[in-house]
Structure 1
Amino acid sequence: MTDSIGAFVPGTDIRVEGAAEGPLTGLTFAAKDLFDVAGYPTGGGNHDWPTGRAVPTRNAWAVQRLLDGGATLVGKTVTDEVSLGILGESAFDGTPVNVNAPGRVPGGSSSGSAAAVAAGLCDTALGTDTGGSVRVPSSFCGLYGIRPTHGRLPVDGMMTQAPTSDTTGWFARDAATFAKVSAHLLDEAIPTDLPTRLLVTTDTFAFAEDAVAEALAPLVDRLAELIGAREDVLLAPQGLSVWARAQRTIQPREAYETFKPWIDTNPRMAFGVARGLMQGAAVTETELGWANQMRREARGRLKSLLPAGTILCLPTTPFPAPPTGLSISQQTPLRELITCLCAFGGLAGRPQVSIPGATVDGLPIGLSIVGGPGTDAALIAVARALESHR
């Protein structure tokens, strides 16, 4: 396979055939370079990460699950350095090309996986989502993507960052493939019955750029027609920025604890990554205590909003993919704005599916749907039904 978009880890040539028979036979997939593949180093997006680490002898759970289903692994994909990024630009391996938004970032940290699927280099791809790393590239690249219920799927063989927020996720270009892959990974049939109540979170649409809210309005209307009952609500009464602050307290602190032994080896890393880790190191117990209280409030809010049969929707990102090559000072406020719409994923641990279908000046933008714990398959059913409800 020719990789003309820089989606796959440079210097690797991997192909592992899936089981001869299975529900995914005939499909190809790629795995973000945070997932172990037997016989190959796990690079983690940083050329110093594999140093001193044994080459894996068994596949990560998610990789093996797809292989057992009949899908064939065709490579490992570029990731933001040790998963600490949201735009998809790697100081070590470069920026994968976003074919649906040329000259724009693919979104990270699952940048290579999203770019490879968008370019048709594979049918589906594994990513990880801690603070938005599947949801954001799904939106920027115009793909279906899922952050499953936290803790539902094993993360064995997946490089961790912040354990109370880390999840495995995946991408697809079309709803049928997305549903097929999801049913196998979730080990659950995708239902035909749909939720009966839709909440439109007005604070998130007001927070997004006006052009984004306008572009998503027809998709929201179609979704409401499909579900049958619509109600406007606030997602975060305390403020989206308050929820974001809580996630930016918990996640960096956990990341610092995760990577502290590695930091002690004085590895090379980009300034933005080092800055984030040092910010995590500076989080006090008092600040962490406040953030965990806010997490409890966020979970309570989602619990009250999402009884059985109810889903909510929001823009996946507040804007389409920004241009590549922005300066650190230009990137920082963009990252903070993205976190305001993505923070509740890690805070509340609810399943979220990003659905393509809208553009702003030709650039993709995603609409997200969220349900109660364990309603992953129901969300995928909605995404599948919405594709045909035009």
Structure 2
Amino acid sequence: MGECFVDRFEIAGAAEGPLAGLSFAAKDLFDVAGRVTGAGNPDWAATHAPAQAHAEAIVRLLANGATLVGKTVTDEISLGLLGENAFDGTPLNPRAPERVPGGSSSGSASAVAQGLCDAALGTDTGGSVRVPASFCGLFGMRPTHGRVPTAGMLPQAPSSDTAGWFARDGGTFAKVGEVLIGEAPGALPSRLTVGTDCFGFAGPGVAEALAPALARLEALVGEGREDLLAPPGLAAWAQAQRALQLAEAWATFGPWVEAEVPRFSYLVARTLMAGSATTEAQQGPARLVRDDARGRLAHLTKGGGVVALPATPDPAPLKNLPLAQMDRARERINANCAVGGLTGHPVLVLPAGDVEGAPVGLAVIGARGADASLLALAQAWEHA
């Protein structure tokens, strides 16, 4: 238990380039030529042929000098937020070994946090980069929707899917990000809004633990004003995101499920069945909430603005919790993280504080397309 790789191998990057000398791993949702993309489920692996080509994100990193050192554990078909895979186990969270690493990019975060590679690719639909970055004390980013190519990446819910990445330090993080987004770090954000509803929603000790990081952010960006991130309520945004995401996940995986009748853990099977039962009557109002959320974020981030909130409302839960407690943890994470999938805005996670000896990150949401500004913020973070 605790292994973060599902396949160890080495594919050397270009001899020269901005990432020369750096190593990276890829979540087992990204295609590597000649290898099956396993997606965290043995029946998916058994019913799919080896990939014909590398995923575009992998091509970019290799072409710029980074060396690929393996594929990492993911929650089954990316449907998870805690990082406990019934088939592949739970990767180690080295910052809090008795706690989960966060999912679904659990193995990628674990590999970086353990120092087994310099950076790693993950995916983020409903929080799957942001959550493990927060739980493992890493830099992580969900870029603007569509900014990093997802060709060769197994989809889940395409209207929310993004390819993201992790690193332990801001310099490496920004270097990798520049290659992936195709733009150098830009000017720092110029206006800060503190999401008071998000800090109020956070669990005991989280706001206090993030206070020094928030002060550092204000020193970099400018004194923050307070406002609500989600005037309708975080729970309302989460309900809309869940309806849309699960319906799309069923559209993605349903034909395979019906043809193959694969094995799943109970939690993943339950999630897929919920997706299959999501009606158009539920999705219509959810799309209106999504339009409202996008308008709200466009307003809060215009003119170089960013919004700060806890990356997760709580530190990582303990491993092997009873089902009711696991469900409660996931519900709270979904409420906190729904903004990413709903709006498509880029979200940077900064390593920021500790609660009960476990990390909690500070999330910074930028304007759509302002990824380079968030890279600059990551670069400057350690020197603030």
Flag whether TM exceeds 0.5 (same fold). Answer: yes
Secondary structure, aligned partner of 2:5: coil
Q: 1:50 aligns with which of 42, 45, 48?
A: 45
Shift of 1:229: 3.1
What letter is aligned with 2:183? Answer: E
**Counterpart contact for 2:171–2:378, Cα < 8 Å:** no
**Residue identity opposite 1:8 in structure 2:** F
Q: Is 1:94–2:89 an aligned residue pair? A: yes
Contact conserved, 1:28 with 1:74, CA < 8 A, in 2? Answer: yes
1:312 aligns with 307
The CA distance in 1 between the partners of 2:98 and 2:266, in whole Å, is 23
Q: Does the Cα contact within 8 Å between 1:196 and 1:229 map onto a contact in 2?
A: no
Alignment of 1:1-390 (within 5 A): 5-9=2-6, 12-191=7-186, 193-264=187-258, 265-389=260-384
3-state SS of 2:45 partner: coil
Contact 2:190–2:222 (8 Å) recurs in 1? yes
Letter of the 1:303 partner, please give it. Answer: A
Q: Secondary structure at the match of 1:368?
A: strand
1:7-42 Cα deviation digits (max 9, x unpaired): 001xx3311000111110000000000000011110
Report SS of the residue matched to 1:74.
strand
Superposition deviation, residue 360 in structure 1? 1.0
TM-score (norm 2): 0.98
3-state DSSP class of the match of 2:65? coil
Output the CA distance in 2 between the equivalents of 1:271 and 1:26: 42
Contact 1:272-1:328 within 8 A present in 2 as well: no
Query: CA–CA distance in 2 between the matches of 1:340 and 1:266?
Result: 31
Code of the aligned partner of 2:170: A
Residue 152 of structure 1: CA displacement?
1.3
CA RMSD of aligned residues (A): 1.0
Superposition deviation, residue 327 in structure 1: 2.1
Kindly state the Cα deviation for residue 135 of structure 1 after the two structures are TM-superposed: 0.1
Structure 2 Cα separation of the partners of residues 103 and 224 of structure 1: 33
Structure 1 distance, partners of 2:190, 2:146, is 26
The separation in 1 between residues aligned to 2:100 and 2:26, in whole angstroms, is: 19
In the aligned structure 1, how far is the partner of 2:267 from the partner of 2:47? 24
Query: Take 2:265 and 2:47, find their aligned partners in 1: how far apart are those partners?
Result: 20
**TM score, norm. by length of structure 1:** 0.97
CA distance in structure 2 between the partners assigned to 1:328 and 1:20 by the alignment: 49
Give the secondary-structure state (helix, strand or coil) at the position aligned to 1:341: helix
Distance of 2:182 and 2:251 partners within structure 1? 33
Distance in 1, matches of 2:304 and 2:68, equals: 36
TM-superposition CA deviations, 1:137-185 (whole Å, max 9, x none): 0000000000000011211100000000000000000001001111111
The code of the aligned residue for 1:208 comes to: A
CA distance in 1, matches of 2:194, 2:233: 16
Q: Residue type matched to 1:218 in 2?
A: P
Per-residue CA deviations over 1:73-121 (Å, capped at 9, x if unaligned) read 0000000000000000000100001001111000000000000000000
In structure 1, the gaps of 5 or more residues are none
Offset from partner CA, 1:345-369 (integer Å, 9 cap, x none)? 0000000000002111221100000
Letter in 2 for 1:13: R
Question: What residue identity is the alignment partner of 1:335?
Answer: R
Q: Residues of 2 paired with 1:241 and 1:333: CA distance?
A: 13
Contact 2:40 2:74 in 1 (8 A): yes
8 Å contact kept, 1:249–1:280: yes
Structure 2 gaps of 5+ residues are none
| 2:210 partner letter | L
The SS at the match of 2:342 is: helix
Q: Secondary structure at the match of 1:49?
A: helix
SS of structure 1 residue aligned to 2:146: coil
Distance in 2, Cα, partners of 1:43 & 1:18: 23
1:301 Cα deviation after fit: 0.6
Between the aligned partners of 2:202 and 2:39, the Cα distance in structure 1 is 31
1:159 maps to amino acid: L
Runs of 4+ residues deviating >2 angstroms: none
SS where residue 207 of structure 2 aligns?
helix
Contact 1:132 1:342 (8 Å CA) reproduced: yes
* Structure 2: distance between partners of 1:60 and 1:73: 12
Distance 1:327 1:272 in 2: 12
Q: Is the Cα contact below 8 Å between 2:2 and 2:89 reproduced in 1?
A: no
